[in-house]
Amino acid sequence: MRKHYLDNIRWFTVLLVGLYHVIYMYNGVATFGVVGPFKEVQYQDAFLYLCYPWFMLLLFIVAGISSRLYLEKHTIKEYIKSRTTKLLVPSTIGVFVYCWIQGYINMNLSDASESMIPDNIPAAIKYLIMCLSGIGVLWFAQLLSLFSLGLALIRLCEKGKLFELTKKTNIIVLVLLVVPVFLSGLILNTPMVLVYRFGYYGMGFLLGYFVFAHEEVIDRLVKYRYFLIAAAAVLGAVFTILRFGQNYGEAPCYNCIEAVAFAWAMCLAIFASFKKWFNTSNNTTKFLTKRSYGFYILHYLAMSSVALLLHKYTQMPALPTYLITGAATFVGGFLLNEIISRIPILRWCVLGIKKEKKNVQG
């Protein structure tokens, strides 16, 4: 039976990423590739602090669970082929087909197009610079494709004993897993491109595969859902109050103990809440489940394009700017997905869609 709460967690989190990027485009702490703030202090930026520590960690945990579910019914060879098409192709070939557009927009948003790409360098070099500058949200697919290949190797060596052992994981152990998550966040972080947190997200992926893929474990979380929700709310407030005004995407802010504790409590609370209250399916959730990955890849282009136009040609106040940018993000993201998913070669390069297949979880 399909685990609808996992589908719902995935599309809900992806839509939250879209809303996050709308606020992020006009934030006051991260400056590259954004329009920038409306004023010196923006309390709406607190939304960014309340989302950033946990939402991508949650997606990696869900990806680990989905990998386990997929491998229960498919071979390692089929798993590698599936992940190559869905993740590796868009995050490699797609970079050269699609990301140059995003790179051009990012540079113009940062007023960096002239300084970073002088007129006297060859067109091919300009193109490569724009491609690399426009990778953007594809970092998730790049890391996930790497983790998936690593998991295939682990699967060859690990014969299921560790997975059987973790079936007995109780609530105390689940809470204490914050320790290895925190420690993993201190290692394997790239110094320049800060989203490539191999330790932090890799730990989340493996915990999803070995621990949270057990339905018994999720059921134990359900029993403590109110406690977990309360803990996440308190820890989120603590992190936001203590760190507001700092760049939440850089060290020491993004890997401090209060950020990781909040992130872990939030992940546990969401699993418990969605299993209890949102383990259902209807036409809307089916639509969002099928299109969430394409929306994730394409929404930033729709959002940043409109943000650039508003920045260049208008001087609107914050509220209408947020509303127009938000509409562009969600309408444009889904519309681009509908268009590109119908163009055979382009949909393979950008979205990893080779042909229509039956809906299989994972």
Q: What is the pLDDT of residues 208-221, one digit of tens each?
A: 999 999 999 999 99
Q: What is the pLDDT of residues 238-283, one digit of tens each?
A: 999 999 999 999 989 999 999 999 999 999 999 999 999 999 999 9
Residue 356 lies in a domain: no
Q: What is the structure's pLDDT at 336?
A: 97
Residue 167 lies in a domain: yes
Residue 360 lies in a domain: no
**Total structural domains within the chain:** 1
Q: What is the structure's pLDDT at 180?
A: 97
**Residue 109 half-sphere exposure, CB side, CA atoms within 13 Å?**
30
Mean pLDDT, rounded, for 56-77: 96
Name the average pLDDT for the chain: 93
264-297 burial, b at 16+ Cβ within 10 Å, e below that, comes to bbbbbbbbbbbbeebbeeeeebeebbebbbbbbb
What DSSP designation does 255 have? T
180-217 burial, b at 16+ Cβ within 10 Å, e below that, comes to ebbebbeeebeeeeebbbebbbbbbbbbbbbbbbbeeb
Residue 26 lies in a domain: yes
Quick count: other Cβ atoms within 10 Å of Cβ 129?
18
Residue 357 lies in a domain: no
Query: Domain residues for 322?
Result: 4-351
Residue 239 lies in a domain: yes
Residue 358 lies in a domain: no
Q: What is the pLDDT of residues 22-33, one digit of tens each?
A: 999 999 998 777
Q: Which two tokens stand for residue 10?
A: 């995935």
Task: Quote the pTM value.
Answer: 0.94
pLDDT at 118 over 90: no
Q: What is the structure's pLDDT at 119?
A: 67
Please name the residue ranges forming H helices in the chain: 4-24, 46-51, 55-71, 76-83, 89-97, 99-109, 113-116, 123-133, 139-157, 161-165, 171-176, 178-184, 198-207, 215-223, 225-243, 257-277, 283-313, 318-327, 333-340, 344-351
Residue 219 lies in a domain: yes
The contacts of residue 301 (CB under 8 Å, 6+ apart) are: 101, 102, 105, 332, 336
% residues pLDDT > 90 (the chain): 82
- How many Å apart are CA 232 and CA 268, to the nearest integer? 9
Q: What confidence tier does 354 reach under pLDDT thresholds 50, 70, 90? A: confident
